[in-house]
Every structure is written in structure tokens, then in C-alpha cells.
């Protein structure tokens, strides 16, 4: 009778995992072996700590296994293949050291017996009938042949450089641990000590939290709650494994693999779940990261549906990447779009992606450009200046995307009608802008430069101003002298320094010239500036009230600069 539990957990060690005839299979399409020297060194240091301080025990993290339907001895490794593969390589390195003792004719018969016992316990078991060895661990399709033919059989490849990168890493791991063992002469000089090092230290004291699940869905749920050690399986791998499992013929599978690679090369592995969530938001509301795998399982059940999904993902992949990069080739023939894409980059707003996905497919190029402008204005008012909760934005954009795909919304004006609840009204926007403060350091400096650039364009009635041509001048300087402190208390300096009203564009040469000078000196220099926003500064003195007054005036202009075309 089928078990109904979501998962079964226990604490175990490497000896218990690999013993008693158990067999472990890495899914054919799972990520290749990817540990590097940094990972090997961390593991080796843990082992040395156990060796020097017995008995202690060290947790290696969670190991997620999917039980076989036809045998309680067979498991698919959902998460943990890097660690199990690396531990088996250490076992192989120890066998190599025992073989070296045999070659030196040291305790030949005893060491041969030790080698056979350890091989049977940790690497492969011998069938009593056929006398053939059967591996306890099978890696993925790219690594398994090399693992079985070369590593387990201690056969050095003829040309290591000709190997696939992941197979090179497997061999380098073996070589690394052989060298580590050579630095422990008290261990490697004796077959008995080598055996004890493997059985009593590595196999006994390296502990795992073993989690057994019944199917891929449960595995995905478990995975979302784990932060396993090292470079482990990602949610993207789980999704890929499921999609590939639907293909029966080798030709279809190879085509799917090629298509998957094209998508991942564009989107990048770490961003794929985010990309997939935006795509799924074209059809469903409230798509959460933890529900992605379940949605795919429910909607993609055969090879044709899997191909259809891959086709759609490939279709949107270039757009997804381009939405976060104004310099992407995607925008080469649409420079007007580049302006707004750059603004979205600055604002770090992605909630609108599903709407932009849908509109790019359904709207005309001109309407898509108008929509981009609308999204930027809404984002600037809502997220940048008023700093409101982004969750409401995501919900509304999700619903708009679905409506566009169903042809219920056909133009930017209709989008604006739906966005009206999150379009910060003029009165609130003006008030929030009047008190807006932002650091001019780090990434935020670009945003400050953008705001001043827009304000200057408005003041000078020109659109050809180079945004990178000016320095950001702090009228009340960042390092005010004692004379400045006659008009500002310490708390006022802290409050007013990064107000937009205290910032203005200035030529780099003039900026260096005025430095921390008093306002009376600076104000004369400002009259030499080409920037209207700066040479319009005519106040007799620079005080907290002056900054507030200037910023309120700038806020009135901001209402018109960042205004939706469809707003009254």
C-alpha cells in the first residue's frame, strides 16, 4: 500500500547510506559534477578536524532522496549528489593508497583483502553468481561513464584536457584527495590505518539528515525549505528533470536539451525561476515561487506540452533579459524604448514584467513604448518617491497581463484605468517629493543623477543634456565647516544634507572650485554654470527653510515631469 507521508527523515552517516546493498542514481539530466577546490578543501578540513578530535561527528547537511517504486534499496538523489560523489572519490583515493602499499609489497595479502572489503562496502558490490561488480552510485549521463570506467577502476585518463569540464573536475578531485592523504604519513604508511581512517572517521562521523520523499512534487516542496551545503541542486534542475522525463525518444530528448540550453544561456540558471514565474503570471494569478513546480506538473503532462512550454519560454527569454538591460541588442532598433528600460533598471522595478510580456506580444510597437513610459511614471511615483508596498503593484500587473492575453485590454489607456488605484495622485506625490531625501553614494547616486537630469531638462527646456556631464553639488556640503554650522544644527545637517532641495547639477571643474565654501561664495560661482537649475539659485542665504522652499518648488515641477499621459 502506498505511503501517504510527505517525507521521512532520519539522521544517518555515510556508512549507513552506502551499505546494505543500497543503490543511488543521479537523474540523467541533473547538473554535472561541479565542486571545485574550495569545496574540496572545506570538506577535507572537516575530515581533519574529525581525525584529530575523535569521536565528534560533523553534519553534512540534508540529503534528499526519492524512494524507488519497485525496491526499498534503490534511491534517486534529488539533492546531495555533489557530496555523495565527492565522498566516494575520497574512498577511491584511499583504495589507491592501499594499492600503492601493495605495489611496494607491504602486507600484500592483508592489504589486498582490505582493498576488496572497502571496495565492496563503499563503491561496488560483487555478485556472488556472476562475480561482476555493480556500482553503488550512478552519476548523470555526462559523468557516469567516466566515473565507472576510470575512477572506480583507478584508471587514469590518457588526456585529461580532452575530457568534459565536469569529468576533469572529478579527476582533479581524486588527485586533490590523493595529495591530501600524502600529507598524513601516519595514515598512509599503513593499510590498517587507511582502513580505519575511512571506516571510523569518514564513514562513521560524517552525518546527514536523510530526507526520503515519494515523488518530485514532494521533493520540490522540501527543496524550497532547504539551504544545503555547497553547489547543490536548484529548483531549476528539478523543473528541468521533470520536463525531460516526459520525452520518450532520444531525438525528442536531444532537441529538448538543445532548446533548454538556448533558454538557459539567455536567461541564466539563477534567474530562471523568476523568469518562469513571470511567464506563468500570464495565465494565473498569485503565482508564488513555491507553487511553480505544482503548476507545471498540473499543466504539462506529455512531450508535446513540454515542447510547447519550451517554445513559449524561448520566445520570451530575450525580452526577459532585455527588460533589465537598456543596452541589450534587443532594443537596437527602438532607442525610444531604451530610455524607459534604463529607468526601470534604476528604479529596480520588476513587478510589471508580466504586463510587459503580454503587451510586447499583443500591442503595437508605439503602444508598447507608451506603456513603458506609463510603467516608469507609475513606478517612480509609487516605488521611488512614495515608497509604497510593492505587493499591490505585483497583484495589479498580474491581473492586467492576464487581461491583455485574453484581449480584454487592448491599449495603454485601458492599462492606466486598471493602474489607477496605484497611481499616486498629484497631491500626495507633490507632498512626498517635497520631503524626499536620498543618499548620493553607491548605486543610489545614479538615481540622484537621473532626478536632477530630469529636473534640469524641464528647467532649461532642452532634451539634449548629457546625464553624465555634471557633478552632483551638495549646496550644504557633506563636510560642512564651522561657519556652515551657524545656520544648521547637527540634526538639521543630518536631515537636510541629502534632500533633493540641497542638490544641484554643476560642472565638475566648478564643483571642485567651490568645495566646502560658504553659500555666499558658491552662489557667485553658480551663476557661471550652464545649468538652469543651478544658476536659478538666487536665495540670499542657505538655511533649512531655503532648502525646504526650493524643494517644494521642485516638487511642483516634478508633478508635471513624472505625469501619466492619461492622467487628468
Whether residue 198 sits in one domain with residue 276: no
- Report yes or no on whether pTM surpasses 0.85: no
SS3 of the chain: helix, strand, coil, percent, to 5: 60, 10, 30
For 242-246, 370-374, 454-458, 507-511, which range has the lowest pLDDT when averaged over its residues? Answer: 242-246
Closest residue by Cα to residue 31 from 343, 240, 288, 308 = 240
Q: Is the pLDDT of residue 285 over 80?
A: yes
If pLDDT is split at 50, 70 and 90, which confidence band does 130 have?
low
Whether residue 465 sits in one domain with residue 395: no
111 domain-assigned: yes
Max CA separation in the chain (angstroms): 102
Of 251 and 502, the structure prediction assigns the larger pLDDT to: 502
566 domain-assigned: no
30-54: average pLDDT: 89
Q: Cβ neighbours of residue 361 under 8 Å, at least 6 residues apart?
A: 405
Q: 292: buried, middle or exposed (CB in 10 Å: 19+, 13-18, 0-12)?
A: buried
Q: Is the pLDDT of residue 176 over 90?
A: yes
Whether residue 385 sits in one domain with residue 480: no
Pair type for strands 124-126 and 133-135: antiparallel
Q: Cβ neighbours of residue 145 under 8 Å, at least 6 residues apart?
A: none
Whether residue 399 sits in one domain with residue 284: yes
Mean pLDDT of the chain: 89
Whether residue 355 sits in one domain with residue 391: yes
447-467: average pLDDT: 89
If pLDDT is split at 50, 70 and 90, which confidence band does 126 have?
low
pLDDT in tens, 397-450: 999 999 999 999 999 999 999 999 999 999 999 999 999 999 999 889 999 999
The pLDDT, as a whole number, for residue 6 is 47
Neighbours of 143 (CB within 10 A): 23
Q: Which helix (H) or strand (E) holds 472?
A: strand 471-474
Of 481 and 131, the structure prediction assigns the larger pLDDT to: 481
Q: 131: buried, middle or exposed (CB in 10 Å: 19+, 13-18, 0-12)?
A: exposed
If pLDDT is split at 50, 70 and 90, which confidence band does 188 have?
very high
Helical spans, DSSP H, in 352-443? 353-362, 365-379, 390-405, 412-419, 426-434
21 domain-assigned: yes
Neighbours of 102 (CB within 10 A): 17
Q: Is the pLDDT of residue 1 over 70?
A: no
Whether residue 112 sits in one domain with residue 39: yes
Whether residue 331 sits in one domain with residue 461: no
The pLDDT, as a whole number, for residue 127 is 64
What is the three-class DSSP state of 62? Answer: strand
Closest residue by Cα to residue 508 from 463, 457, 472 = 472
Q: Is the pLDDT of residue 233 over 70?
A: no
Asked if 395 contacts 286 with a C-beta cutoff of 8 angstroms, the reply is yes
C-alpha cell at position 87: 565522498
211 domain-assigned: yes
Whether residue 135 sits in one domain with residue 121: yes
Asked if 355 contacts 375 with a C-beta cutoff of 8 angstroms, the reply is yes
C-alpha cell at position 164: 568534459
465 domain-assigned: yes
If pLDDT is split at 50, 70 and 90, which confidence band does 235 have?
low
Q: Which of 426, 447, 479 is the last residue of a domain?
A: 426
pLDDT in tens, 189-220: 999 999 999 999 999 988 887 888 776 656 65
Q: Is the pLDDT of residue 75 over 60?
A: yes
Q: Which of 364, 399, 426 is the last residue of a domain?
A: 426
Whether residue 110 sits in one domain with residue 66: yes
Neighbours of 148 (CB within 10 A): 16
Q: Which helix (H) or strand (E) holds 553?
A: helix 544-561
pLDDT in tens, 328-371: 999 999 999 999 999 999 999 899 999 999 999 999 999 999 99
Q: How many domains does the chain have?
A: 3
Q: Which helix (H) or strand (E) holds 319?
A: helix 303-322
| Phi, psi torsion values for 296, nearest 5 degrees | -65, -45
343 domain-assigned: yes
The pLDDT, as a whole number, for residue 469 is 85
- Domain, as residue range, for 329: 235-426
Whether residue 80 sits in one domain with residue 219: yes
Q: What is the DSSP secondary-structure string of 178-246?
A: HHHHHT-HHHHT-HHHHHHIIIIIIHHHEEEEEEEESSHHHHHHHHTT---SSS---HHHHHHHHHHHT
74 domain-assigned: yes
Whether residue 445 sits in one domain with residue 402: no
Question: Rounded distance, CA 230 to CA 441, Å?
Answer: 34
Closest residue by Cα to residue 12 from 4, 2, 24 = 24
Q: Is the pLDDT of residue 489 over 70?
A: yes
Q: Which of 366, 396, 426 is the last residue of a domain?
A: 426
pLDDT in tens, 156-170: 888 888 999 999 999
Whether residue 493 sits in one domain with residue 381: no
Amino acid at each position: 500500500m502506498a505511503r501517504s507521508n510527505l517525507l521521512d527523515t532520519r539522521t544517518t552517516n555515510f556508512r549507513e547510506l552506502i551499505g546494505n546493498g543500497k543503490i543511488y542514481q543521479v537523474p540523467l539530466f541533473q547538473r554535472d559534477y561541479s565542486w571545485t577546490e574550495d569545496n574540496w578543501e572545506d570538506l577535507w578540513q572537516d575530515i581533519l578536524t574529525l581525525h584529530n578530535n575523535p569521536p565528534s561527528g560533523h553534519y553534512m547537511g540534508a540529503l534528499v532522496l526519492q524512494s524507488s517504486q519497485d525496491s526499498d534499496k534503490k534511491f534517486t538523489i534529488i539533492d546531495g549528489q555533489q557530496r555523495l560523489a565527492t565522498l566516494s572519490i575520497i574512498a577511491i583515493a584511499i583504495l589507491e593508497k592501499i594499492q600503492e602499499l601493495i605495489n611496494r609489497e607491504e602486507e600484500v595479502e592483508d592489504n589486498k583483502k582490505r582493498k576488496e572489503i572497502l571496495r565492496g562496502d563503499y563503491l561496488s558490490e560483487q555478485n556472488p553468481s556472476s562475480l561482476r561488480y555493480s556500482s553503488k552510485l550512478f552519476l548523470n549521463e555526462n559523468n557516469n561513464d567516466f566515473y565507472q570506467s576510470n575512477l572506480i577502476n583507478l584508471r587514469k585518463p590518457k588526456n585529461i584536457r580532452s575530457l568534459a569540464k565536469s569529468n576533469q573536475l572529478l579527476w582533479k578531485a581524486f588527485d586533490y584527495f590523493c595529495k591530501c592523504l600524502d600529507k598524513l604519513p601516519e595514515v598512509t604508511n599503513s593499510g590498517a590505518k587507511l582502513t580505519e581512517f575511512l571506516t571510523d572517521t569518514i564513514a562513521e562521523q560524517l552525518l546527514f539528515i536523510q530526507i526520503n520523499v515519494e515523488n518530485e512534487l514532494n521533493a520540490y516542496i522540501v527543496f524550497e525549505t532547504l539551504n544545503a551545503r555547497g553547489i547543490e541542486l536548484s529548483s531549476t534542475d528539478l523543473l528541468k528533470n521533470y520536463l525531460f522525463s516526459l520525452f520518450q525518444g532520444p531525438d525528442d530528448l536531444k532537441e529538448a536539451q538543445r532548446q533548454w540550453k538556448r533558454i538557459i544561456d539567455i536567461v541564466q540558471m539563477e534567474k530562471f525561476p523568476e523568469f518562469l514565474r513571470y511567464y506563468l503570471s500570464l495565465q494565473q494569478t498569485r503565482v508564488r515561487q513555491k507553487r511553480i513546480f505544482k503548476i507545471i506538473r498540473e499543466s504539462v503532462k506529455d512531450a508535446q506540452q513540454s515542447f510547447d512550454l519550451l517554445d513559449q519560454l524561448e520566445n520570451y527569454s530575450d525580452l526577459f533579459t532585455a527588460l533589465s538591460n537598456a543596452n541589450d541588442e534587443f532594443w537596437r532598433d527602438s532607442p525610444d524604448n531604451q530610455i524607459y528600460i534604463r529607468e526601470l533598471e534604476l528604479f529596480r522595478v520588476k513587478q510589471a514584467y508580466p504586463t510587459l510580456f503580454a503587451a510586447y506580444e499583443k500591442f503595437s510597437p508605439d503602444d508598447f513604448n507608451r506603456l513603458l513610459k506609463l510603467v516608469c511614471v507609475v513606478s517612480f511615483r509609487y516605488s521611488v518617491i512614495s515608497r509604497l508596498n510593492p505587493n499591490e503593484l505585483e497583484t495589479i500587473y498580474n491581473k492586467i497581463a492576464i487581461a491583455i492575453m485574453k484581449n480584454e485590454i487592448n491599449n495603454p489607456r485601458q492599462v492606466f484605468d486598471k493602474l489607477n488605484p496605484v497611481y499616486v495622485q498629484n497631491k500626495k506625490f507633490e507632498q512626498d517629493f517635497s520631503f524626499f531625501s536620498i543618499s548620493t553614494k553607491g548605486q543610489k547616486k545614479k538615481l540622484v543623477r537621473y532626478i536632477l537630469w530630469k529636473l534640469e531638462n524641464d528647467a532649461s527646456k532642452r532634451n539634449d543634456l548629457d546625464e553624465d556631464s555634471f557633478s552632483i553639488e551638495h549646496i550644504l556640503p557633506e563636510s560642512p565647516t564651522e561657519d556652515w554650522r551657524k545656520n544648521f544644527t547637527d540634526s538639521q545637517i543630518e536631515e537636510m544634507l541629502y534632500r533633493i532641495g540641497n542638490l544641484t547639477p554643476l560642472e565638475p571643474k566648478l564643483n571642485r572650485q567651490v568645495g566646502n565654501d560658504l553659500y555666499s561664495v558658491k552662489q557667485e560661482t553658480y551663476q557661471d554654470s550652464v545649468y538652469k537649475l543651478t544658476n536659478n539659485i538666487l536665495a540670499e542665504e542657505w538655511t533649512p527653510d531655503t532648502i525646504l522652499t526650493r524643494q517644494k518648488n521642485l516638487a511642483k515641477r516634478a508633478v508635471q515631469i513624472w505625469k501619466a499621459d492619461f492622467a487628468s
